[in-house]
């Protein structure tokens, strides 16, 4: 399986431009024979808090455009979605889309109160599944702030995830945390870890970029650093078997913590 992470500058509120740039990354991934691409968190809208309700109206149109581009590739990322028009809040929802169909949805659970996310978003249920299957491979999902909560990753691993996807909008001021925690999540769960972040400015925040693909040993296979574009890698599932056999920490944890 060939997987890709896409990194882009997300202009808050400019759905047309963001969608165009995201679709360009998707097309590049397809041309490079990728089976899967992960895009950043809320990549079509950004976090324009006071206009999220309005921006959510574009979700169906944006998702339909992604569906049109999804032949022979799995496209993943989050969108601002308004499932309850009468409510004041919206949802930050992960979509996995392939062959013009939505194959999985997950709603971000942990909201970042420091920036006021909890004032504008409704959270997902902690009991919801964060693993889905694609081409007979189980894939785990988490979003941005959830990187700081290893329970989400353990839950996915205990349920068979061999790949974990993590879209985010993460600031450069906490780049060291990003690099440390993404590497740790890969090592402790012994899986391929894809994290897609934005780059450039997001409102008043300078974003960290550094979208990466990690091996099950925590090795950085690809790193986009601060640029825009895509990086891709070929996944060798035997490497997961080797890592888990030679250092059976995940197996040992299953004895006590599942």
- Report, as residue numbers or ranges, the catalytic residues: 41, 108, 144
Q: What is the CA 47 to chain-centroid distance, rounded?
A: 16
What are the backbone angles phi and psi of residue 204, rounded to the nearest 5°?
-90, 0
* Backbone Cα Rg of the chain: 17
- For the chain, how many residues are written? 258
**Structural contact between residues 36 and 76, judged by C-beta atoms closer than 8 angstroms:** yes
- Of 208, 224, 218, 213, the closest CA to residue 183 belongs to 218
Q: How far apart are CA 100 and CA 73, in angstroms?
A: 10
Q: 198-213 in b/e burial notation, b at 16+ Cβ within 10 A? A: bbeebeebebbbbbbb
């Amino acid at each position: 399986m060939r997987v890709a992470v896409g990194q882009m500058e997300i202009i808050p509120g400019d759905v047309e431009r963001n969608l165009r740039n995201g679709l360009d990354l998707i097309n590049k991934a397809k041309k490079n024979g990728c089976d899967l691409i992960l895009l950043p968190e809320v990549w079509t809208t950004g976090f324009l808090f006071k206009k999220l309700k309005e921006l959510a109206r574009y979700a169906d149109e944006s998702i339909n455009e992604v569906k049109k581009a999804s032949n022979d590739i799995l496209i993943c990322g989050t969108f601002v979605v308004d499932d309850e028009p009468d409510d004041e809040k919206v949802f930050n929802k992960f979509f996995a889309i392939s062959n013009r169909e939505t194959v999985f949805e997950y709603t971000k659970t942990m909201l970042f109160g420091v920036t006021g996310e909890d004032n504008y978003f409704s959270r997902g249920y902690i009991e919801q599944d964060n693993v889905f299957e694609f081409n007979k491979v189980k894939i785990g999902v988490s979003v941005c702030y959830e990187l700081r909560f290893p329970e989400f990753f353990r839950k996915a691993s205990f349920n068979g995830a061999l790949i974990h996807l993590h879209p985010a909008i993460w600031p450069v001021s906490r780049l060291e945390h990003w690099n440390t925690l993404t590497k740790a999540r890969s090592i402790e769960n012994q899986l391929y870890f894809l994290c897609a972040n934005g780059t450039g400015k997001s409102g008043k925040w300078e974003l960290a970029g550094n979208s990466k693909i990690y091996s099950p040993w925590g090795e950085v296979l690809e790193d986009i650093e601060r640029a825009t574009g895509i990086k891709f890698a070929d996944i060798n599932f035997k490497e997961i078997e080797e890592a888990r056999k030679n250092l059976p920490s995940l197996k040992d944890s299953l004895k006590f913590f599942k």
